[in-house]
Structure 1
């Protein structure tokens, strides 16, 4: 039951730097929910990163009163003394109450090391993680905090508008900044034996040789300084190499095993499956942006000058980011523009069996290159999820990474990105969980679906997006376990 109350297990002492704005209106005598929780603070006021001391998990007794959440080391019996202490603020060893007015709270899907964790972001941009005893306890806390975070008659959309804008602005800033130094990843050439020859084979098939490309050649955008006026009139009679990024699937260099799957997709998946199945956080931890960009430029010049002994090809996080970048740059997304709304509507069908059948029909109606590439990618993600005990990437975590990248429109607007985000997650998660059924070659003759007709379907919630948007590793903080790239 969503109303079940629970307790958690041990941790340390709480922090003192908390959001305490607007606490004067709080009523401390009416406890709405209470119980033991783990917690740690991620961001302090104004969204500043919390110090190392505040990022430790601590065990506290939480009590929700009106629009305030008090955190104490010990359980306090209700009474005038306890109420007065809470109203006066925290003692030397106590945490200050957290103001939950107009806050955002939801499940923290990016937290892979602990279960039943939810994230709370206050109106002044403090951010916390809380771990409940079980799923029902977690959902109960989320619902109670949401119900008590708004003033009477307040529109939840308006209340959260400032936080939404802050999250999106932070995401834009990180997206345009340089990436961190590459994380150390398992090195070696296992699983790459045939990859070099495949690149060269593709190059020869298209009449492209390494010597066709001048040394140190770059994209047109990075060409040498302009020559004097008049010389540019002369056209160079040189056939350009087919680009690997930013082109439609039909125009990509095909893989040898399937002509409708791009070579770069097959190559990246092969490398990850060869060396990264047990790599913790694979696809969640981003690679160095500069290294990823340099590999993109190299592949856009043609595969003939690929050197797989280059250390850039040895970093699993770079390779996984390269694959994600390929799908982000597709001018026609994998689920196609004309079917995007159909997929969103299908995901919202309440009857589970009808929802599954509708999704499968839409998938089978995709154009050939898009269907085959989606089938190949989902099969790869299923393989990753099958090793989640080691890599911590269950279907839901993979869906958080790939959902916004795969299920989108070519001109993704902010409204769709926010309102459709939970649908995007759920569609990709469902495909990974039931990949064999969705991509079976057998005809659909009314056979049973892999889910029952009463399987619960999550109601789309705008707050699903906000705790995870822009979870990229900022410069100087590589490999943080709390960050997620989408």
Structure 2
């Protein structure tokens, strides 16, 4: 049998689709093939041809009950399938399957079997000539993304403990944005932010000193988008409730010790990235008279950006209060928590 997936890249935060359509075909032998086109109409024709060919075959095994999975955060080709109620809300792979098999019994007509077999054989030859996904990655035709990649995976791939994109953005803000009015609060041009994201994901050379990135709010907007699209936030899911309980502590010194202990237990990429970010935000506060940003303002911006619960079963408003309070408290006590040099 042939199982076909269609990938349409969707930006989690702004939900803007990419312009290319990519089909992944997996055979029952485990081989994988990719078919890609920039034309939506061509993608529809390919889909119809593959579906018609598979439906016309008399050698297909019964459809497996778990062969179709839909993720509610994505769009699909019109007119095919419906969302599964058991689909997961968060999936870092962002993929959805299209059911290639009709629920009704397959029909086969002997009068046109020759034509259908011909189409089937031509399609089979075409598929066998296509390179596998592994080959495409080895040749650099398919690249691993930066946005939407797990923090540990990204740092391991780059050989760092802080993502390069985060470092580049923070350096740019330190250089020319610390005194910008409403830094991190004011939104940059969305189209320009998406352009910056595309360049980063394509692993092209990024120079934030170029004139197209002169609006520092575009840089901060892309940085916030990077953190929002992490499959697991900078504050890992398993630590969410622990930080909430720590920030509830009344006595100030005990609260600092509890939060500091939790941060020391974080994976190194999370801990190092957090230290770099909060030391930078502490410098932002040094220019609060010019940029008009306060600890409360930064907490409101970065609370839901850096941490959220794995399941949204609780009270969202209450969670947001704690998210803001945790970020604000760490920012205020950043010198003690991260052992920063005092000036």
Length-normalised TM-score, structure 2: 0.60
Cα distance change, pair 441–379 in 1 and its aligned pair in 2 (3 A): closer
Return the match for 2:131 from 232, 235, 242.
235
Provide Cα deviations, 1:33-89, integer angstroms capped at 9, x if missing partner: xxxxxxxxxxxxxxxxxxxxxxxxxxxxxxxxxxxxxxxxxxxxxxxxxxxxxxxxx
Aligned length: 229
Q: Say whether the 8 Å CA contact 1:283–1:317 is kept in structure 2.
A: yes
How far apart are the structure 2 equivalents of 1:416 and 1:232? 50
Return the match for 1:385 from 285, 294, 303.
285
Report whether the alignment pairs 1:279 with 2:180. Answer: yes
Cα distance change, pair 287–223 in 1 and its aligned pair in 2 (3 A): farther
Return the match for 1:394 from 290, 294, 302.
294
Cα distance change, pair 288–350 in 1 and its aligned pair in 2 (3 A): same
Q: Say whether the 8 Å CA contact 2:279–2:340 is kept in structure 1.
A: no
Cα distance change, pair 176–267 in 1 and its aligned pair in 2 (3 A): closer
Cα distance change, pair 441–320 in 1 and its aligned pair in 2 (3 A): closer
User: 1:399-410 alignment to 2 at 5 Å?
Assistant: 399-410=299-310
For structure 2, the 5+ residue unaligned runs are 1-12, 24-35, 51-122
User: 1:177-196 alignment to 2 at 5 Å?
Assistant: none
Matched residue, 1:269: 170
Length-normalised TM-score, structure 1: 0.43
Cα distance change, pair 223–371 in 1 and its aligned pair in 2 (3 A): farther
Return the match for 2:218 from 302, 309, 318.
318
Matched residue, 1:24: none
Report whether the alignment pairs 1:294 with 2:195. Answer: yes
Return the match for 2:38 from 221, 224, 230.
224
User: 1:165-180 alignment to 2 at 5 Å?
Assistant: none
Return the match for 1:434 from 312, 324, 333.
333
Q: Say whether the 8 Å CA contact 2:155–2:269 is kept in structure 1.
A: no
> Shift of the alpha carbon at 1:332?
1.2
Q: Say whether the 8 Å CA contact 1:218–1:297 is kept in structure 2.
A: no
User: 1:20-419 alignment to 2 at 5 Å?
Assistant: 223-225=37-39, 226=43, 228=46, 230=123, 231=126, 234-235=130-131, 237-239=135-137, 240-252=142-154, 259-304=160-205, 306=206, 308=208, 311-411=211-311, 413=312, 415-419=314-318
How far apart are the structure 2 equivalents of 1:249 and 1:329? 10
How far apart are the structure 1 equivalents of 2:302 and 2:214? 22
Provide Cα deviations, 1:277-320, integer angstroms capped at 9, x if missing partner: 1100010001122221222122112134x465654422211110
Q: Say whether the 8 Å CA contact 1:331–1:410 is kept in structure 2.
A: no
Q: Say whether the 8 Å CA contact 1:378–1:435 is kept in structure 2.
A: yes
Cα distance change, pair 308–402 in 1 and its aligned pair in 2 (3 A): closer
How far apart are the structure 2 equivalents of 1:218 and 1:266? 30
Structure with greater helix percent? 2
Cα distance change, pair 327–410 in 1 and its aligned pair in 2 (3 A): farther
> Shift of the alpha carbon at 1:219?
8.6
Cα distance change, pair 220–274 in 1 and its aligned pair in 2 (3 A): farther
After TM superposition, where is structure 1 displaced by more than 6 Å over at least 4 residues in a row? none
Cα distance change, pair 266–388 in 1 and its aligned pair in 2 (3 A): same
Q: Say whether the 8 Å CA contact 1:254–1:263 is kept in structure 2.
A: no
SS in 2 for 1:261: coil
Matched residue, 1:149: none
How far apart are the structure 2 equivalents of 1:259 and 1:428? 24
Cα distance change, pair 254–308 in 1 and its aligned pair in 2 (3 A): farther
Q: Say whether the 8 Å CA contact 1:261–1:369 is kept in structure 2.
A: yes
Cα distance change, pair 177–374 in 1 and its aligned pair in 2 (3 A): closer
How far apart are the structure 1 equivalents of 2:195 and 2:213? 11
